[in-house]
């Protein structure tokens, strides 16, 4: 769900209407990404601590991974590599 800081979110009329209806429900609960990371991984900033991001490369050349998650992006592509954990 886009938050209120998302550019032009007020133009998403049906989304904002749905948000309003959901928030009026007694069953509504909102969690931050930190809350979810704490539940899933035991640390509120696990993904930040275990990710490396850089620009996308025309040719992917992989060596020894720097982090568990590697993210490479550009305007029209994103690569996410999940590296095997060492036991």
Most distant CA pair in the chain, distance: 51
Q: How many domains does the chain have?
A: 2
pTM for the model stands at 0.55
Q: So what's the pLDDT on residue 35?
A: 95
Same domain, 64 and 78: yes
Residues 47-57 have pLDDT tens digits of 999 888 887 77
Residues 32-73 have pLDDT tens digits of 999 999 999 999 999 999 888 887 777 766 677 778 888 888
Helices (H), the chain: 13-23, 33-41, 46-49
Question: Chain-centre distance of CA 16, in angstroms?
Answer: 21
Q: So what's the pLDDT on residue 60?
A: 66
Domain that holds residue 55: 33-87
Same domain, 26 and 41: no
Same domain, 22 and 45: no
Same domain, 37 and 71: yes
For the cut 70, the answer to whether the pLDDT of residue 86 exceeds it is no
Q: Quick one: DSSP state of residue 5?
A: T
Same domain, 37 and 70: yes
* pLDDT, averaged across the chain: 84
Same domain, 12 and 39: no
Select the more confidently predicted residue: 17 or 63: 17
- Going 47 to 50 to 55 to 56, the CA torsion angle's sign is negative
């Amino acid at each position: 769900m886009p938050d209120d800081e998302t550019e032009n979110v007020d133009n998403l009329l049906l989304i904002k209407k749905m948000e309003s209806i959901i928030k009026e429900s007694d069953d509504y609960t909102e969690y931050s990404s930190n809350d979810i990371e704490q539940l899933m991984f035991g640390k509120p900033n696990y993904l930040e601590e275990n990710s490396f991001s850089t620009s996308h490369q025309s040719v992917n050349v992989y060596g020894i991974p720097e982090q568990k998650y590697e993210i490479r992006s550009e305007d029209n592509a994103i690569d996410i590599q999940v590296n095997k954990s060492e036991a």
